[in-house]
Structure 1
Amino acid sequence: MSKHSEQSAVTVLGLGPMGRALAGAFLGAGLRTTVWNRTPGRDAELVERGAAGARTAREAVAASELTVVCLVNYDAVDAVLRREEVAAALKGRTVVNLTADTPGRARELADWAAAHGIRYLDGAIMTPTTTIGTPAAVFIHSGPAEFYREHRPVLEALGGTHTHLGEEIGRAAAYDIALLDVFWTAMTGYAHALAVARAEGVTARELAPFAQGIGEILPPLFGEIAEDVESGGFSGEGNPITSAVSSMAHIVHASEAHGIDAGVMRAAEGVVRRAIARGHGADGFSRIAEVLSRR
């Protein structure tokens, strides 16, 4: 192997910004860490800090009982792990895959791992690289509870909170996809808002404090809407979706008057109008979740 002959506590495969942050947190916690990346050279700083730089993926996974994977997607994970020599070296060891992708891909990889005698946990990182190793980091995991309990002491070196969501392997990815849906939909809405504001002579800096105020309204609404969806109540008291569709139409018209693409808001407006057409005009916005679920 590399300069350390004894077994590492953990191996990290993938040294992009997040992978380097993960490896750095393990090192910072005093854990012997082996690192490997498909593109050579990214391990230099980590090796200077004491990491063992493996020459191959097979060498890297053979160095530790636990391998943490953080690559761009599951295509990249498959290209690394499903090589015959790597799979053979992983037999009897545990992989914690923190790569983001779909729940279906997580289940496929778990089936492959089980067929090759590899212990597999899936997971997701819900906070940016700057939080890794700090109390602000958030990790979610799914898969066999036995594997999670065994390796949690090492995983906790990454800082923050770690939540095991259940044994069904796709649950972490399902949470990740749903929460990223919230994030990117909101970010797209904010980018669109900045474009509309600029067209009306309002600068991004001028709008930002008020946009942050809108953001502070959302957390309690998320809880209320969740209760409505779970109970099937869809209460529209005080704010029926007929009111929502009116303001959406204003946004579309103002945007298009300036030649700004209003496709995202038109799509949202279309869903609300579909709900109204089905007789749900007096319901609250929570009804939209049920309308979107219909095939």
Structure 2
Amino acid sequence: MTHPNLDNQSGTVAVLGLGPMGRALAAASLAAGHPTVLWNRSPAKATALVARGAILAPTVADAVDRASVVIACVINYEAVRAVLSGLERPPSGTFVNLSSGHAAEAREMAGWAAQRNVNYLDGAILTPAPTIGTPAATILYSGPRTLFDESLPRLESFGGSSAYLGADVGTAAAYEMALLDLFAMSVGGLAHAFALASTEGIAPTAFARFARGIGGLLPDMADRFADQLTSGAFAADISTIASAGSAIGHVRDAAAARGVDPTPLQAVQSIIERAIAAGHGGDSYARLAQSLVPADAVEAAR
């Protein structure tokens, strides 16, 4: 039985999951003036949002039954399926999954939706919860274009850029995983660098001054990688893989001498050594990205 306050609310946004990101999405929806229904396993998390005008649904079914757009923002795709498992009938509105996972999971979820005649979009939030509802937010979407266009007036309330990436429902998740890869490796490198600096008595604030400069090199490097990987030509205009191998060796030795775990450096060194062994020592760093992926996997993706 549907909650009486939820009947016949055309244009309602339902938010399933009230972690920090779910609460931010719901708050942005309310701020934009959209009727907003909430569901969470722990109802107490909805208190502040209800005070601002949101409706707390007693069950998932009550939340999704009359919503035009249903937003799921939980820990992973398995949790999404668990949340929806008790529904006697599928969502009638467009179901937008903003939970984190990889492309294969997104496509599997789309298959689940298709079997139940559910209109499904997949999405990936690229910025932290405090950005939601501000110009700094970035959310990627993939799936049927018509569903994205129809849902956009609600999705735009989350702020910033709502980027549509195409009909392949796994594309948004694929971008998210690759970007998380970059973030995770960058954070790991930053932590390792601060650790190494600390063993030489370098103050964190003093080191940060120069660490920012290294970070500033990445935007131009990303563009060069993209250009060279697209063209398939890896001219080493700035530096070579062989020189990188030498530099990594120095850093590995420095870390080992100071008792800093050299494992992350050894992993990078292994990648470089494989590229050199394959005859690519004189190429640019961008060649390393190609070297990491088997040729048949690249062809299959195309």
The match for 1:178 is 178
Separation in 2, partners of 1:3, 1:84: 19
The match for 2:13 is 10
The match for 1:39 is 42
Could you tell me which runs of 5 or more consecutive residues in structure 2 were left unpaired when the two chains were aligned: 296-302
TM-aligned CA deviation for residue 278 of structure 1: 0.9
Which residue identity is paired with 1:174? A
Question: What is the number of residues matched between the two proteins?
Answer: 292
Maintained 8 Å contact 1:2/1:55: no
1:58-95 deviation digits (Å, cap 9, x = unpaired)? 1111131210110011111110123342xx141x3210
2:22 paired residue among 19, 23, 28: 19
Which residue identity is paired with 2:221? L
Which residue identity is paired with 1:269? Q
Separation in 2, partners of 1:278, 1:6: 65
1:209-288 paired onto structure 2 within 5 Å: 209-288=209-288
Which residue identity is paired with 2:171? R
2:95 matches 1:112: no
What is the TM-score when the length of structure 1 is the normalising length? Answer: 0.96
Maintained 8 Å contact 2:234/2:286: yes
The match for 2:61 is 58
Maintained 8 Å contact 1:13/1:35: yes
Which residue identity is paired with 1:285? Y
1:23-172 paired onto structure 2 within 5 Å: 23-85=26-88, 88-90=89-91, 92-172=92-172
Maintained 8 Å contact 2:30/2:53: yes
Separation in 2, partners of 1:105, 1:31: 30
TM-aligned CA deviation for residue 279 of structure 1: 0.8
TM-aligned CA deviation for residue 39 of structure 1: 2.1
| More displaced 10-residue stretch of structure 1: 170-179 or 254-263 | 254-263
TM-aligned CA deviation for residue 6 of structure 1: 4.3
| More displaced 10-residue stretch of structure 1: 229-238 or 218-227 | 229-238
TM-aligned CA deviation for residue 3 of structure 1: 4.3
Separation in 2, partners of 1:111, 1:89: 14
Maintained 8 Å contact 1:2/1:54: no
Q: Secondary structure at the match of 2:217?
A: helix
1:157-214 deviation digits (Å, cap 9, x = unpaired)? 1110111000000000000000111111000000011100101101221111211111
Separation in 2, partners of 1:2, 1:18: 28
Separation in 1, partners of 2:279, 2:6: 69
**Structure 1 residues 59 and 272 mapped into 2: Cα distance closer, same or farther (>3 Å)?**
same
Which residue identity is paired with 1:175? Y
What is the TM-score when the length of structure 2 is the normalising length? Answer: 0.94
The runs of 4+ residues in structure 1 deviating greater than 4 Å are 2-6
TM-aligned CA deviation for residue 251 of structure 1: 1.2
Separation in 1, partners of 2:79, 2:25: 18
The match for 2:299 is none
Separation in 2, partners of 1:125, 1:257: 41
RMSD: 1.2
The match for 2:199 is 199
Which residue identity is paired with 1:32? P
Maintained 8 Å contact 1:142/1:164: yes
| More displaced 10-residue stretch of structure 1: 39-48 or 105-114 | 39-48
Maintained 8 Å contact 1:2/1:52: no
Give the fraction of aligned pairs with identical amino acids, expressed as a percent: 44
1:95-127 deviation digits (Å, cap 9, x = unpaired)? 010111010000001000010010000000010
TM-aligned CA deviation for residue 2 of structure 1: 6.1
Maintained 8 Å contact 2:30/2:36: yes
